[in-house]
Structure 1
Amino acid sequence: MKNYDSLVDALSDLKTRGFESDFAIETTCIYCGGLDLRLRPEEFMVEEVYRFEDDSTPDDSSILYAISSSAGVRGTLVDSYGAYSESLSFEMAQKLKMPTIRA
């Protein structure tokens, strides 16, 4: 795992490493609008996770996931945590729960 100075740096590097699609969290899956593709928890793998914290505004913290799928699609998912974190199904929460690298 790498250490990044910012979320922008991490996203840029991951794109150069083939994580080109952009995912969004839905309650029971992740969604790639560019491909109109929904992946359930059993259809994707979290390869890397990075956490970014803003010392001046703790609510502006985010988590970056590098995702690969059984269909061969690779991309990134950015989510906030804390007060703005999304409501997830149990399966999605378990899939996205793993140790994070603090950047």
Structure 2
Amino acid sequence: MNDTITFEDFSKVDLRIGTIIEVNDFPEARNPAYQLIIDFGDLGIKKSSAQITTLYNKENLLNKQIVAVVNFPKKQIAKFMSECLVVGAVKAKDVVLLNPENRVPNGSVVG
């Protein structure tokens, strides 16, 4: 377990629900990854790079709702600017995406 944090620390992390609306291969990435385009409702459209090619194919990801941190600074990955961090549970070396059990509006706050 990592260091204990306060509720104030946790409240700084802006976790939101978004729907993947586009998935592209990302051959320039150091590790196998996809480029995701995600609709966060009123927050707009954001891009993310995700190393999830082992458990997911592009067709399975399209229209899937996911959880992402939307208030990290942008990060340059090869020639791609990642604007959010899609979150998941690590299973061995693979990432299993976290997602709501039922559909919710894009941009919904996770808390």
The TM-score with structure 1 as length reference comes to 0.36
The TM-score with structure 2 as length reference comes to 0.34
Larger radius of gyration: 2
Question: Larger helix proportion, structure 1 or 2?
Answer: 1
